[in-house]
Structure 1
Amino acid sequence: MAELTTVARPYAKAAFAHAQEKGQLAEWSAQLALAAALAGDAEFTAYLTRPSMTVEQQTGAFFTAAGDQLSADGRNFVAFVAQNKRLAALPAIAEIFEQMKADAERTADVQVTSAFEMTDVQQQALAGQLAARLGRKVTVNAQVDSSLIGGAIIRTGDLVIDASVRGKLAKLSATLNS
């Protein structure tokens, strides 16, 4: 995975610089998400990576599958990636692009897994606290996992806050066993 990220980073930076210069971050985000979904589909990838497929045929199949959802610049980008035999890197390119977009827009998507359903008021209060701590506009995506017993686990980027009862019990158990 580290190698794929290394390969994807220059493409993502170039796409981001172009999109930012044109003021089209949202459009490029959508186009790269589509390209990543196509490149990440196992059946479509198996079709594209057949030894008999030329780069032109791969690009044509990709554009056919994408329909009219790719702009001219988006098509040029995908064609360039295909010419360099890097279509498999499109999901990583899209992921890095999204990180760069979130940094530029000062936003963060936060995944909150709680033991019980959170009310809208609780989600807003948590979003406010996290926005103050992270210095970003926060979007909370909540889900329920009753195995946590109580509390919640909060994830955003590489930050994880485990305030669950299950996590605290596991930490206590590790301390007692050492």
Structure 2
Amino acid sequence: MAELSTLARPYAKATFNAALESQALAEWSQQLATLAVISEQADVQALVTNPALSANDKAQVLKDVAGDTLGDGTRSLIDVLAENRRLSLLSEIHTQFEAMKAEHEKSADVVVTSAYSLNDSQQQTLTDKLSTKLGRQVNLSVEIDESLIGGVVIKSGDLIIDGSVRGKLTKLADAMNS
């Protein structure tokens, strides 16, 4: 996995810089998301790794599948990736691009997993407190997992805050067994 990350980084940086320069971060983000979804399909992965097809053929198939959703810059990216036999990096390039975009926009995607649904007031309170803690605009999404028993688990990138009853019981059991 680290190898994919390392290989994708220069492409992601170049793509991010091109998007920033053209003031089209949102458009590039959407187009890369589309390409990431397409590239993760089993049929497309088989095509990308097929040694019998030329780089141009692979690139053309991807462009045809994506259709009119791609701009000229994204089409050029596909061509470059195909020439360098790096089409398998599309998903990782998208992931890294999104991280750079979030850093640039001073935003963070936060997933809150709760034992019960949260009302609008609770979500707003969490958003406000997390925005202050992280120093970023927070894009909050809530998931329900009844196995938590109570409380919440908050995830944002590498940050994980486990305030769930299940998490506390697990810590207690570990402490007792040590």
Task: Please report the TM-score for the alignment, with normalisation by the length of structure 2.
Answer: 0.98
Q: Distance in 2 between matches of 1:108 and 1:90?
A: 22
Partner letter of residue 168 of structure 1? K
Matches within 5 A, 1:29-40: 29-40=29-40
CA shift for structure 1 position 51: 2.3
Q: C-alpha distance in 1, partners of 2:147/2:174?
A: 19
Structure 1 partner of 2:97: 97
Give per-residue Cα distances to partners, 1:23-60, cap 9 Å, x unaligned.
Answer: 01001101111111111111121133222111111011
The one-letter amino acid paired with 1:60 is Q
Shift of 1:102: 0.2
The answer for the alignment partner of 1:165 in structure 2 is 165
State the partner residue of 1:137: 137
What is the rounded CA distance, in whole Å, between the counterparts of 2:80 and 2:51 in structure 1? 19
CA-to-partner distance for each residue in 1:147-174, whole Å, 9 max, x for gaps?
0000000000100000000000000111
Q: Quote the residue 2:58 is aligned against.
A: 58
Q: Structure 1-normalised TM-score?
A: 0.98
2: CA distance, partners of 1:171 / 1:120: 30
Amino acid at match of 2:100: M
Does the aligned pair in 1 maintain the 2:48–2:88 contact within 8 Å?
no
Root-mean-square deviation over aligned CA pairs? 0.7
Identify unmatched segments of 5+ residues in structure 1. none
- Partner of 2:69, secondary structure, is coil
Matched residue of 2:68: which SS?
Answer: coil
The size of the alignment, in residue pairs, is: 178
Q: Secondary structure at the match of 2:6?
A: helix
3-state secondary structure, aligned to 2:70: coil
SS in 2 for 1:94: helix
Match of 2:17 in 1: 17
SS in 2 for 1:175: helix
Which residue matches 1:4? 4
Residue type matched to 2:147 in 1?
S
Rounded to whole Å, the distance in 1 between the matches of 2:48 and 2:154 is 38
Asked if 1 retains the 8 angstrom alpha-carbon contact of 2:48 and 2:87, the reply is no
Unpaired segments of 5 or more residues in structure 2?
none
Distance 1:2 1:119 in 2: 39
Q: Is the 8 A contact 2:4 2:89 kept in 1?
A: yes
Partner of 2:43 in structure 1?
A: 43
Runs of 4 or more above 3 Å deviation: none
Secondary structure of the corresponding residue to residue 9 of structure 1: helix
